[in-house]
């Protein structure tokens, strides 16, 4: 008999690609993860994981089991949802991981709305970048992720997650004072090819959006400065350190007197934001109202 707990460990190893990283995500020791994998291999009669200096990779047998594991774990989530609904499920805590502007734009308004519509639901918020929160959901560290589309992000057909679109927002050009293009109403991205750039760190979803936008505009982004704090990005632009692309919502309420902000000409780079939960958990009586409240908040605030 295969234990569901061990299937979850197998999926974590597949997601994180090392036993050590999977163990850290699951709050286990590496030896405990190794023991559970060994027990799973004994239960199935197959070698499931190949380990090397480069990390851990599922064998063909492991990939077969993983495809079934995703379906089994999703069904268990549905079972928990139905049991919670049977027991009313009107009170409890839902943990949401979201990036800073997402917290301000949709999570905080959703919490305010839930205080009236579902007062028994307590929302606990964790700040996490848009590419980190999805793994936190899969590792059961949080219940809901407010995440950003990025290269390598799980797609809408991913068997592990259910996604709910929230909003899409354009990036605007942030220019130093007196910049040669500030006189125009809009900025063509290709005209900034030779400027010094302020970017985000590699792996940040906004970095991916900016890199792709520059590629489409015909040049390769090589930022001279980088920061994941958009206030710092604006401060650097105000100091004439370079130009930047910043999501429009991140500029709201920010002191912008030292910079010039212009929309991008043509099709603007866009940040697409969605909520995600483990597949099968979307109907949980605690999680479903939170997803609904996030959706309503996105319609009114984005």
- pLDDT tier, 227 (very low <50, low <70, confident <90, very high otherwise): very high
Angle (nearest 5°) at CA 42 between 41 and 44: 65
- pTM for the whole structure: 0.70
Coil, helix or strand at residue 140: coil
Write the pLDDT tens digit of every residue in 76-125.
777 877 777 656 666 788 999 999 889 999 999 999 999 999 888 899 99
pLDDT of residue 262: 95
Write the pLDDT tens digit of every residue in 200-225.
888 788 888 899 899 999 999 999 99
pLDDT of residue 198: 96
Q: Let me know: does 40 contact 13? Beta carbons within 8 Å.
A: no
Write the pLDDT tens digit of every residue in 233-272.
999 999 999 999 999 988 987 888 889 999 999 888 898 8
Separation in Å, CA 203 to CA 152, 153, 175: 10, 11, 24
Sort 9 into a burial class: Cβ within 10 Å, 0-12 / 13-18 / 19+.
Answer: buried
- pLDDT tier, 174 (very low <50, low <70, confident <90, very high otherwise): very high
């Amino acid at each position: 008999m295969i234990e569901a707990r061990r299937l979850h460990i197998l999926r974590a190893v597949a997601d994180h690609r090392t036993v050590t990283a999977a163990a850290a995500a699951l709050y286990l020791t590496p030896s405990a993860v190794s023991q559970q994998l060994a027990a799973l291999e004994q239960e199935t009669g197959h070698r499931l994981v190949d380990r090397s200096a480069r990390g851990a990779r599922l064998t063909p047998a492991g990939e077969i089991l993983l495809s079934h594991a995703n379906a089994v774990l999703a069904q268990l989530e549905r079972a928990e949802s139905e049991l919670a609904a049977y027991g009313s499920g009107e009170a409890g805590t839902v943990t949401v991981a979201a990036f800073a502007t997402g917290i301000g734009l949709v999570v905080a308004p959703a919490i305010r709305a839930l205080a009236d519509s579902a007062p028994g639901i307590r929302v606990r918020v964790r700040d996490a970048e848009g590419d980190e929160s999805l793994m936190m959901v899969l590792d059961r560290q949080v219940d809901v992720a407010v995440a950003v589309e990025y290269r390598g992000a799980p797609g809408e057909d991913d068997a592990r997650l259910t996604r709910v679109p929230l909003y899409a927002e354009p990036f605007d050009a942030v220019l130093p004072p007196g910049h040669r293009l500030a006189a125009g109403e809009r900025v063509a991205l290709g005209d900034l090819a030779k400027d010094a750039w302020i970017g985000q760190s590699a792996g940040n979803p906004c970095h991916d959006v900016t890199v792709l936008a520059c590629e489409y505009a015909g040049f390769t982004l090589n930022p001279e400065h980088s920061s994941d704090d958009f206030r710092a990005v604006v401060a650097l632009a105000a100091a004439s350190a370079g130009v930047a692309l910043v999501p429009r919502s991140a500029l709201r309420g920010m002191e912008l007197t030292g910079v010039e902000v212009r929309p991008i000409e043509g099709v603007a780079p866009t940040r697409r934001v969605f909520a995600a939960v483990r597949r099968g958990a979307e109907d949980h009586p605690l999680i479903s109202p939170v997803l609904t409240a996030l959706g309503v908040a996105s319609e009114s605030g984005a």
